Structure 1
Amino acid sequence: MKKQHLPTKICPVCNRSFMWRKKWEKNWEMVKYCSKKCAGIKSNKGLT
């Protein structure tokens, strides 16, 4: 798959777009945050 055709999502914490990564291949549907940092901020702010 070419880079321009990779799926993207919007991180609910930082509102930035992030692309699919090979390490997320098996659980892309469950990925919500662009980074571990944003996932940690989520727990501190009480966001879902």
Structure 2
Amino acid sequence: MGDLIRKIVGDKADKQRWLAYKARVDALPAAYRSPLEALERYLAQRGW
């Protein structure tokens, strides 16, 4: 049962790592943040 919940909800450590990454991106100056966000959108649309 715990494995099923983990598959649906995801790993907590992965989520914490993602939130820490997003906080670092938000702290960047706009000149660096904008291209990084564009790259994330591109990769999300292409399914990477």
Quickly name the TM-score band, shorter chain normalised. under 0.3
Structure ranking higher on relative contact order (CA contacts 8 Å, 6+ apart)? 1
TM-score, normalised with respect to structure 2: 0.28
In terms of fraction of residues, the more helix-rich structure is 2
* Higher strand proportion: 1
- TM, length-normalised to structure 1: 0.28
